Structures are given as C-alpha cells and as structure tokens.
Structure 1
Amino acid sequence: MIRRALMLAVFCAHDVGAAAGDLDRAAERAEMVARQIQDRGVQNEQVLSALRKVPRHEFVPDSEKRYAYRDTPLPIGEGQTISQPYIVALMTELARPGPSDRVLEVGTGSGYQAAVLAEIVDHVYTIEIEPTLAEQAAEVLRRLGYDNVTVRAGDGYVGWEEHAPFDIIVVTAAPDHIPQPLLDQLKPGGRMVAPVGPVHSTQELRVFEKDATGKVISKTAAPVRFVPLRRRHD
C-alpha cells in the first residue's frame, strides 16, 4: 500500500511538472503576441488567437526550442527556416482568412504557418519541396490534431490543381516572379500573399487579389527576406 502511494505521488508530480511546462510556454506565446505582434500593428483577433494557441516550439528542432518564441527565424534543417512570428502573423492577416476558406500554402517548411491558418480556415493544402521536411511537418501536424491540413511533397510552383480553386494562397518562399499556375488556381475574389524579388536580397511582400472578371491587382505590404522558392529541377 505504501509503495502504491509512492508511485502515485511520483506520477502526480510528473503530471504537475508537465502542466507547469505547458503553462510556461502558453505565457511565452501570450507575451510574443502582445509584444512582437500586436504592438507592431497586427489586430485581427482570429490571427492573434491562433498565434496564442499554436505551440511554435513543437515546430522547431530540439536545439532551437528555447528560442521558439523570440521574434526571429530559426533553422529547421535542409537549408530552410521557420519564419519569425511577426511575419507569419502579418501574412495571415493580409490573407484575411475566414472559416469556410480553402487555402493553398506553398512552402510547408516546419508546418507552423499551416497550423496557424488551420486554426481559422476550413482546410489547408500545403506543398513542400523537401520530402524530409514534408514528412516531419505532416507528423507534427498529425500529432497536434490538425486533421484539416493535407501535406504533400512536391513542386509548389505548379500549385495543386486537383484541389483548386483556392480562396487563399500563401507563398512562404520567394520567387523572382509570381508563378502563373498559382494565379490560375486562385478563385475569383481570392487573395494571394507572397514575397517576390531577387534571391538572397530584400524582397517585397505583396498581396494579389483576383476580381470577378479574373483581373489580378497587387499591392506591396512590406520589405522582407525569404529563402528562395525552389523548383524540382534545382
């Protein structure tokens, strides 16, 4: 009986410690949103709520977890990075996601941007050119319960025609021009957010909107720096 009580006490202590760790990370997320995102002008409450909820530390390597809630990109392997939280928030707000939207993401990376979008929209289809990263992102998203995200390893330049058209397209790597297949797969009334510009230099974060006639207009939102959008033949 004493041994059973001791074992129970050990398990309870472990659970309390795990819960405390979760609460600490939730506090870090709240601080991140308040100081790094709201204070810099992002105000969409759905976006802010998603950023408070998604555990960014689950989407980075163990060696980077301590830095997960700093406002900085972090390496995730294969020469790729997870974008800084502010940029994820800004791109999500610019996309103006809604609960019935179907989204195409080009450049899954760690899966973090897909998870943020999945908190708001109906379904996210996301493409990653690096098979290892696609597999890792899919596993993390499954483990965290994001059953409204579908991950595929492939060439994001050509989009995902079988699931088109999309209400929103978010491109998380920088092409030097906007791929025509992505414009073609954007629904009339839809929006695409993408960094555009030369490799390894400052690019423009741009918002593209397609009207009911199919005409596309764009505006520049901010200067940014992203890894280049790669093709299968790279």
Structure 2
Amino acid sequence: MDLAAAFAACPRARFLPPDQQPYAGLDRALPLGYDVTCSQPTTVRRMLELLGPRPGDRVLDVGCGSGWTTALLAHLVGPAGRVVGVEIIPEVLAAGTRHLAGLTGLTGLARVELHLTAPGAPLGWPAGAPYDRILVAADAPVLAPDLVAQLVLGGVLVGPVRGEMLRVERHGRYVFVPLRTLDP
C-alpha cells in the first residue's frame, strides 16, 4: 500500500471549497459547510493504514464528504477494485461528485460510485455488499452492526466510536453463552 503515492495523486486542496484551499496543507479538519469537515491528513493517513486497502478490494466509504478519501481509496485499490461512497447530505454529495469527476483523467483508479443515503435507511450501502474494507468518517455512539454485516469474512472496518478509533475484523459466527456480570 503506497500511501505517499495516493496522497500525491489526490491532493487535498482539490477536494476543498475555494475558501478552504489555502489551508489544505494544515493538519486540521477543514469545514466543507453543512456541519461537515474534511478530516486532517494525519487522521486520514492513520485510518488508511489501519484499513489496509489492497489492489482489487471492494471498499465502502461511509461519509464520503468531499470525495477526498474516496479518491485516495480508489487510488489504493486500483483499476481492479471498486469504491462505493455514501453521504447523507445532498449538497455535500454533489460537491464530492464534482471533485471526483475532475480525476477522470488519472489512470489506475478503481471504479467509483457515490450514493445518497435515504433517511431511515440502513447504514452503509447494503446493495453493493459485501465489502473487503469499510471506512467510516463520522463518530458513532456504538459499533454499527449494519456495517459489520456488510463485510466479507476477513473484512476490516475502521472508524471512530465515541471518539476512539476502532479496527474491527469480521471472522464469522460462533456460539457462546451470553456475557454477564456478577451482581454485587
């Protein structure tokens, strides 16, 4: 996985609103509007390291925002891979679509498709499942079973839960007694 090449091929500034482009080199989250941000580069780099996308992988990008992580993932999984991005805010998805359209001249990118998630719909994009990797770019109150269910066996999900970055790998079903605590 060549993260340096991916970051060079997909410069953050191309995925920011014009008023934020001068700040693209800063290591901080930058506003995209609609209470959405483009995460800081060190966070994105670490998440991609934890995710470990490989050439040919099918990847789900939850909260694709400006399209920057979607483009990075497309570069990492290459032409044999596929990246599905989902977003809940139509205006943010429209901007991400425009940003990604500007990359069509680059060779070696995966097939990319973006979708608007409907209110009340399951998290992710079950219609495109299963995925080898799932990247989540918004903090969740709990690990989302809807997303874990969309992973292949051996698949990896990376995303924040209550402010802590988690890496979850799916290994299949087993039978155990329920976990319980002792009453005091």
* TM-score scaled by length of structure 1: 0.67
1:112 lines up with 2:99 in the alignment: no
Q: 2:95 aligns with which of 128, 136, 160?
A: 136
Q: 1:76 aligns with which of 32, 36, 42?
A: 32
Aligned to 2:132: 167
1:151 lines up with 2:114 in the alignment: yes
Deviation track 1:116-160 (CA, whole Å, cap 9, x = no partner) reads 111011111010000011111011101221662111111585221
Q: SS at 1:62's partner residue?
A: coil
Aligned to 2:181: none
Q: CA RMSD in A?
A: 1.5
Aligned to 1:194: 159
2: distance between equivalents of 1:95 and 1:58? 23
1: distance between equivalents of 2:19 and 2:45? 24
TM superposition outliers: structure 1 runs of 4+ over 6 Å: none
User: Do the aligned residues in 1 keep the contact of 2:83 with 2:110 (CA within 8 Å)?
Assistant: no
* TM-score scaled by length of structure 2: 0.85
Percent of aligned pairs with the same residue?
36
Structure 1 residues 172 and 189, CA, compared in 2 at 3 Å: closer, same or farther? same
In structure 1, runs of 5+ residues without a counterpart are 1-44, 198-202, 216-234
Q: CA deviation at 1:109?
A: 0.9
2: distance between equivalents of 1:128 and 1:173? 11
RCO higher in structure (CA 8 A, sep ≥6): 2
Deviation track 1:194-215 (CA, whole Å, cap 9, x = no partner) reads 1001xxxxx100000012x346
Structure 1 residues 86 and 193, CA, compared in 2 at 3 Å: closer, same or farther? same
Structure 1 residues 113 and 157, CA, compared in 2 at 3 Å: closer, same or farther? farther
Q: SS at 1:178's partner residue?
A: coil
2: distance between equivalents of 1:143 and 1:214? 42
Aligned to 2:169: 209
Aligned residues: 165
User: Do the aligned residues in 2 keep the contact of 1:48 with 1:89 (CA within 8 Å)?
Assistant: no
Structure 1 residues 157 and 74, CA, compared in 2 at 3 Å: closer, same or farther? farther
2: distance between equivalents of 1:150 and 1:63? 27
Structure ID, larger Rg:
1
Q: SS at 1:206's partner residue?
A: strand
Deviation track 1:89-136 (CA, whole Å, cap 9, x = no partner) reads 110111111001000111011111111111011111010000011111
User: Do the aligned residues in 1 keep the contact of 2:57 with 2:133 (CA within 8 Å)?
Assistant: yes
Map 1:11-90 → 2, pairs under 5 A: 46-90=2-46
Moved more, 158-167 or 142-151: 142-151
1:177 lines up with 2:142 in the alignment: yes
2: distance between equivalents of 1:96 and 1:56? 20
